[in-house]
């Protein structure tokens, strides 16, 4: 088994042998000839260089950990232009629901795909000396600490009463024909008894939330956005495109027989089928002019730890491999915004009491041959001892506000259930100030 520290030493040796002639973008890549013994997420957590990005595919056949920014881009078009001039580059990061992106070309990338692992150093030849100093400053891997923080308080925005009012306004707009569907979100601010390590929460989610994309962007040691999302925005392999409509939700159950009954109810329920088909129709319309031979698969149920979703997969052949165009057409989908898309976004901006930020945007990567993004759902923003947790529900004619509130709880539980329940006052006081209870 190979250790990360040994591979980094080999990278520095290769860097020292780099010819000083010429300038421009270069890569030094080493295959991992044996199984990598270190956890790349734990290694990432030990580093003091930012930004950092972690990614694990929902089929678990792909995992990446990257750090340091050689170049940063505020939109996909700029990132794509860099890749066109440097075809070996891969750019990682987030796009916002409404706002600039945070995409970057990392200095260092650990990538595992189909049991093949490599480490790649990105650099510009003229900065080789600074790159060597940067490599030398990287820290050795250390085990991740256990998840210990306690939730002291929870504040929902909107609260239950505000949610009921907001949904009634949405249902009125739908009944008046101004909207077919709108996806409304709730933000839950969890105040913690101590700062929360984003990699520790990511590791805990990775362990239990299967069939999900796991992603984390750390802006600094104290600030990060992360999530475990079941939904693919799109995968582009060459010019082949794969996307999906993930809309329609029911609770999961630990008992397989009861879970199957719930899944069958979801397949048969007209309201959820209608919601899913709205998303399918929107995706197909938005891809018109960019793809040929679109194919929509029959509905299936995706079973997750806390909920089950209705899903239809959609495939097509792109006329050109243009990721900026794909993102512009597909994001945000009707599954996170609504229909008509612009009218739904105007309603969201006018009625939701918080800004979504990265929530309901997307996370992933762009490269010349392949790109993939997941929708940034089941996600949270961590800032020191504050965790902002997001969840949304699709509102259509016939939606019941109380049931939709419960759906928010079910979706938020993907991350919320990783933390212990709120401490009672005595326990909280003892944790914060042990002498107070003596």
For residue 55, give the nearest of 69, 41, 76 by alpha carbon.
41
Active site residue 271: no
Going by the DSSP 8-state scheme, the letter that residue 239 receives in this structure is: T
Spatial CB neighbours of 11, under 8 Å, sequence gap ≥ 6: 28, 30, 119, 121, 135
Going by the DSSP 8-state scheme, the letter that residue 110 receives in this structure is: E
d(CA 45, CA 359): 23
- CA 248 from chain centre, in angstroms, equals 19
* Joined tokens for residue 121: 């150093």
d(CA 433, CA 425): 12
Residue of 2, 126, 231, 355 marked catalytic: 231
Active site residue 231: yes
Spatial CB neighbours of 294, under 8 Å, sequence gap ≥ 6: 284, 287, 314, 315, 316
Going by the DSSP 8-state scheme, the letter that residue 60 receives in this structure is: S
* Joined tokens for residue 45: 């957590």
Count the helices and strands in the chain (H runs, E runs). Answer: 12, 20
**Cα end-to-end distance, the chain, whole Å:** 49
392 exposure class (CB count in 10 Å sphere: 0-12, 13-18, 19+): buried
Buried b (16+ CB within 10 A) or exposed e, 356-380: bbbbbbbbbbbbbebbbbbbbbbbb
Q: Residue with structure tokens 């601010």?
A: 189
Alpha-carbon dihedral angle through residues 313, 317, 321, 324, given to the nearest 10 degrees: -40
Spatial CB neighbours of 64, under 8 Å, sequence gap ≥ 6: 40, 53, 54, 55, 56, 92, 109, 110, 111, 112, 365
62 is in an annotated binding site: no
Omega into 332 within 30° of 0, i.e. cis?
yes
85 exposure class (CB count in 10 Å sphere: 0-12, 13-18, 19+): exposed
63 is in an annotated binding site: no
Spatial contact of 259 and 286, defined as CB atoms under 8 Å apart: no
Residue of 60, 63, 181, 404 marked catalytic: 181
Could you give the residue numbers annotated as active site? 181, 231
Annotated binding site for Mg(2+): 275, 407
Annotated binding site: 275, 407
């Amino acid at each position: 088994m190979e250790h990360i520290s040994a591979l980094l030493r080999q990278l520095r040796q290769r860097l020292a042998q780099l010819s000083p002639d010429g300038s421009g973008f270069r890569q030094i890549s080493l295959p991992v000839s044996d199984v990598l013994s270190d956890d790349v997420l734990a290694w990432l957590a030990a580093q003091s260089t930012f930004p950092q990005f972690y990614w694990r595919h929902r089929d678990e056949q792909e995992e990446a950990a990257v750090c340091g920014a050689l170049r940063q881009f505020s939109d996909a078009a700029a990132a794509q232009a860099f890749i066109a001039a440097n075809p070996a580059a891969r750019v990682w990061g987030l796009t916002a629901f409404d706002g600039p992106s945070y995409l970057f070309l990392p200095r260092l990338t650990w990538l595992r795909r189909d049991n093949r692992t490599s480490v790649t150093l990105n650099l510009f030849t003229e900065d080789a000396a600074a790159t060597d100093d940067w490599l030398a400053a990287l820290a050795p891997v250390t085990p991740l600490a256990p998840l210990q923080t306690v939730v002291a308080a929870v504040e929902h925005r909107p609260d239950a009463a505000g949610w009921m009012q907001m949904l009634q306004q949405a249902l009125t707009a739908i009944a008046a024909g101004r909207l077919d569907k709108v996806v409304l979100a709730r933000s839950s601010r969890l105040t913690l008894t101590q700062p929360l390590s984003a990699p520790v929460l990511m590791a805990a989610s990775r362990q239990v939330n299967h069939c999900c994309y796991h992603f984390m962007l750390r802006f600094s040691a104290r600030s990060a956005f992360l999530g475990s999302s079941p939904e693919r925005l799109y995968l582009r392999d060459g010019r082949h495109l794969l996307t999906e409509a993930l809309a329609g939700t029911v609770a999961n159950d630990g008992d397989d027989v009861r879970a199957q009954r719930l899944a069958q109810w979801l397949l048969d329920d007209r309201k959820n089928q209608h919601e899913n088909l709205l998303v399918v129709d929107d995706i197909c319309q938005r891809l018109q002019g960019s793809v040929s031979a679109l194919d929509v698969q029959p509905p299936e149920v995706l079973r997750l730890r806390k909920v089950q979703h209705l899903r239809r997969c959609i495939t097509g052949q792109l006329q050109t491999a243009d990721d900026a165009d794909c993102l512009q057409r597909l994001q945000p989908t009707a599954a996170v915004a609504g229909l008509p898309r612009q009218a739904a976004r105007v309603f969201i901006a006018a009625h939701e009491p918080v800004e979504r930020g990265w929530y309901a945007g997307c996370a992933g990567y762009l490269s010349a041959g392949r790109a993939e993004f997941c929708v940034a759902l089941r996600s949270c923003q961590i800032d020191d001892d504050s965790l902002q947790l997001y969840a949304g529900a699709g509102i259509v004619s016939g939606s019941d506000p109380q049931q939709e509130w419960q759906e928010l709880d079910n979706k938020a539980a993907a991350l919320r259930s990783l933390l212990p329940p709120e401490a009672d006052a005595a326990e909280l006081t003892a944790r914060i100030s042990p002498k107070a209870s003596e």
